[in-house]
Structure 1
């Protein structure tokens, strides 16, 4: 890393940036507004950059990147700052420039016939959803921070969410990007073509790279038809090991209609109900192994109602649930009978992180496993963690194998006295044995560099470093994130429960 620029060099750089984007869009380190960009909502990562620059166009982003490169100043892309791993935050020992994409907030095009939408990186996820809905379509990417998370951040981490089981991650929804590379050149691949085999897929390389290979400034996404009917409910299962069978039977009967299939055990639901008294247990007898699910269809036949007012889709779901209750797989079930009941279930699911936050300090793992291995992981870990004094608070996107496994202090336990490092080691050893991943949808950022170094195959790390060196030889694009440096250990701050999200 090049040495920090002198005050004279810094002034020259900021003067040139102001000439490119306007003086009002260059926020200096002492400016009160800069504080907004110096901390993400986890509250764990904080550092003051040289300045924050807020470009409006791709050309302005290109000019800023070129200027920073010429002055040897690292660039940290910033979007909605709703990440959990510190990927969009400056690092204290790097005199960096934060490039906020918030002013790049245009919906450039919506092709209803081609079912695609072209948006800039600063567009808030919920805005994309609303614009798609206005055209009779949906943008299915959805997660708790959708009211503040921006498209650039979702692309940066390859965000997932609750609908991955049907629609895929951000990478699978994206069919074209525009990006500024580390030398300031612009890649424009916003054609929206479903097929384009003309060399390396730079789109897939940049998505999930957390800004270490360039800055994505715009993207084209696939849209889908609005479901005409939905069936949403909550189940109590006899055993977590039965969950894949329930998922598969629902998928088989409904033609792959499952959109959400979420693991919500009693401990997590109890914490939610304590934190939010307006939320109630969905079943009269609380489910030890709870599953929240939603099945949807855009087929007119599935939306057809019978004499009892139930849709054909609902009848198919009822038939599966009745069969599996007779088999002893499902112990109890509730089906939302109104849109409000459906929204209440979604509110319960999306309140879990805030509820865990309110419960006290916790360590959060974002992991993925083969479906067949999830029950073994949960059972083994829950027993081991209880013996160490922890209380697991787990939820997960069970349909795609993603668990958010959180450790909190057990009753009467002092969080600071608990053996967190030993618990983490046991968890990651078990994860490796079961062929899982230690990062499913939140990214690596700063928080998982040590784990990345320890658990990622060295050959894969070497390939990543080679790509990084080829595209960003000066190492100026979002340094200290995603790829652990060779040699000495990086010591990221210990993960604790994020502060409550501001919506």
Structure 2
């Protein structure tokens, strides 16, 4: 039973109603662990407000009582940012009932949505208006806009459209004292001082609670072509993306790199998929070109680019999707990697970024360092070459015990992060810090940066009640 004062529980119940308050331990279960079951905590209550005004009222009551809040969206994160600690005194604030699409302004190319809207529903609403919302993630059927904003999500289309920071024009935020900041401005130019919304994007709920956003829309895609290309090395991928960018410009909307180990896990564990080639190759890229014009000559561009790549030995083999079914089949190979790796035992996931030009050397250096220190580990490297973001994951050696492998997780992480920083990279590209990388950030980030971040945290949340223990 909750350790909160009965009077506070009653006041919270009056705000959110019976449907918005969960106190039963069994019913709280799904809110207290992430989807991989890698992080688990306890909570005094789970609250599910249905409006911004209810969120504000909850925040005021909890601030007055000194109760910490843990904002939560679709709970699809990989760093434990939406999971409470194990003391059972925090309140989980689920935003999933804030699920209205408030406005679609086709002339202004914007859509205003609440934080609990599922990303896939947002994509569908844009399509219904003849527009495109380009953010695309493997978890788009369950992740929410609020979570996407809180972690500054990236995904597979960053190459063309940017991450959530670039896709956002305005925010509505409940501040730690319960006041509502209405920054829902659908403006592309507003030079009236600090751009406050940027503080909340990527803040993982530590400065306030995002309740709604004005997001950019784009012209609908009317032509699309997709290819699966075999490569000899990551260096070939960097060469190929430079070539395709020069040839296709902004029509290049996807360029995803995958190692053979990544593909083997998918082929073994994901039903209904098959290897596009008869022979195995060391590396692959999934290339997507798109255009707003119907019948754009994308296949001609793709064939020209691949033809040049074959001549130079950059590409080893290629297949171009001939139908929408084949497009989905190729993307299934890419999007199935993370889930497939989980079937191989503990999966140590590392979301790093380095300059695009340094990706080949980073992979070679890190592979070598890991195999020397932890012989037999299986490295699952894949990611978004166009923005330098690699998901550099590690699975246990064949036959190794789960517990022994997990005991090496910190040492493995240190090897990867050491090389990342040596290559002028970041230890978190799009997943955030959460609780998984909070302590590592203290070691790898510039002390002055951390000092400035703490100053911002104190200014917004002096009592430290907004998602404590995360990010900082």
Same fold (TM over 0.5): yes
Q: Distance in 2 between matches of 1:367 and 1:463?
A: 23
Q: Which of the residues 346, 355, 360 maps onto 2:345?
A: 360
Q: CA RMSD in A?
A: 1.6
Q: Distance in 1 between matches of 2:350 and 2:19?
A: 40
- Provide the residue aligned with 1:20 in structure 2: 15
Q: Which of the residues 408, 422, 434 maps onto 1:445?
A: 434
Secondary structure class of the residue paired with 2:256: strand
The answer to whether the Cα contact below 8 Å between 1:160 and 1:168 also exists between their aligned partners in 2 is yes
Does 1:11 pair with 2:6?
A: yes
Q: Which of the residues 57, 61, 81 maps onto 2:51?
A: 57
Post-superposition offset of 1:473: 0.5
Query: What are the equivalent positions in structure 2 for 1:238-317 lying under 5 Å apart?
Result: 238-300=232-294, 303-304=295-296, 312-317=297-302
Secondary structure class of the residue paired with 1:392: strand
Per the normalisation by structure 1, the TM-score is 0.90
Q: Distance in 1 between matches of 2:90 and 2:404?
A: 37
- Provide the residue aligned with 1:487 in structure 2: none
- Provide the residue aligned with 2:465 in structure 1: 476
- Provide the residue aligned with 1:489 in structure 2: none
Does 1:333 pair with 2:318?
A: yes
Q: Distance in 2 between matches of 1:38 and 1:413?
A: 29
Q: Distance in 1 between matches of 2:343 and 2:435?
A: 24
Does 1:351 pair with 2:325?
A: no
The answer to whether the Cα contact below 8 Å between 1:385 and 1:391 also exists between their aligned partners in 2 is no
CA offsets, 1:181-211, max 9 Å, x none?
A: 0011111111210011111111110010000
- The alpha-carbon distance between structure 1 residues 417 and 23, as it changes in their structure 2 partners (threshold 3 A), is closer
> Which stretch shifts more, 162-171 or 240-249?
240-249
The answer to whether the Cα contact below 8 Å between 1:74 and 1:94 also exists between their aligned partners in 2 is no
The answer to whether the Cα contact below 8 Å between 2:42 and 2:87 also exists between their aligned partners in 1 is no
Does 1:96 pair with 2:81?
A: no
Does 1:371 pair with 2:356?
A: yes
Q: Distance in 1 between matches of 2:76 and 2:400?
A: 30
- Provide the residue aligned with 2:385 in structure 1: 398
Post-superposition offset of 1:51: 1.0
- Provide the residue aligned with 1:454 in structure 2: 443
Q: Distance in 2 between matches of 1:32 and 1:357?
A: 25
> Which stretch shifts more, 237-246 or 470-479?
237-246
The answer to whether the Cα contact below 8 Å between 1:408 and 1:415 also exists between their aligned partners in 2 is no
The answer to whether the Cα contact below 8 Å between 1:264 and 1:395 also exists between their aligned partners in 2 is yes
Post-superposition offset of 1:403: 0.6
Aligned residues: 468
Query: What are the equivalent positions in structure 2 for 1:151-190 lying under 5 Å apart?
Result: 151-190=145-184
Secondary structure class of the residue paired with 1:292: strand
Q: Distance in 2 between matches of 1:67 and 1:277?
A: 49
Post-superposition offset of 1:359: 1.6
The answer to whether the Cα contact below 8 Å between 2:267 and 2:274 also exists between their aligned partners in 1 is yes
Q: Distance in 2 between matches of 1:148 and 1:417?
A: 33
Name structure 1 gaps, 5 residues minimum: 1-5, 305-311, 484-503
Post-superposition offset of 1:415: 4.7
Secondary structure class of the residue paired with 1:235: strand
- Provide the residue aligned with 2:308 in structure 1: 323
Q: Distance in 2 between matches of 1:395 and 1:168?
A: 19
- The alpha-carbon distance between structure 1 residues 313 and 421, as it changes in their structure 2 partners (threshold 3 A), is same
- Provide the residue aligned with 1:212 in structure 2: 206
Name structure 2 gaps, 5 residues minimum: none
The answer to whether the Cα contact below 8 Å between 1:367 and 1:405 also exists between their aligned partners in 2 is yes
The answer to whether the Cα contact below 8 Å between 1:179 and 1:216 also exists between their aligned partners in 2 is yes
CA offsets, 1:246-278, max 9 Å, x none?
A: 112212222221111111111110111001242
- The alpha-carbon distance between structure 1 residues 31 and 61, as it changes in their structure 2 partners (threshold 3 A), is same
The answer to whether the Cα contact below 8 Å between 1:369 and 1:437 also exists between their aligned partners in 2 is yes
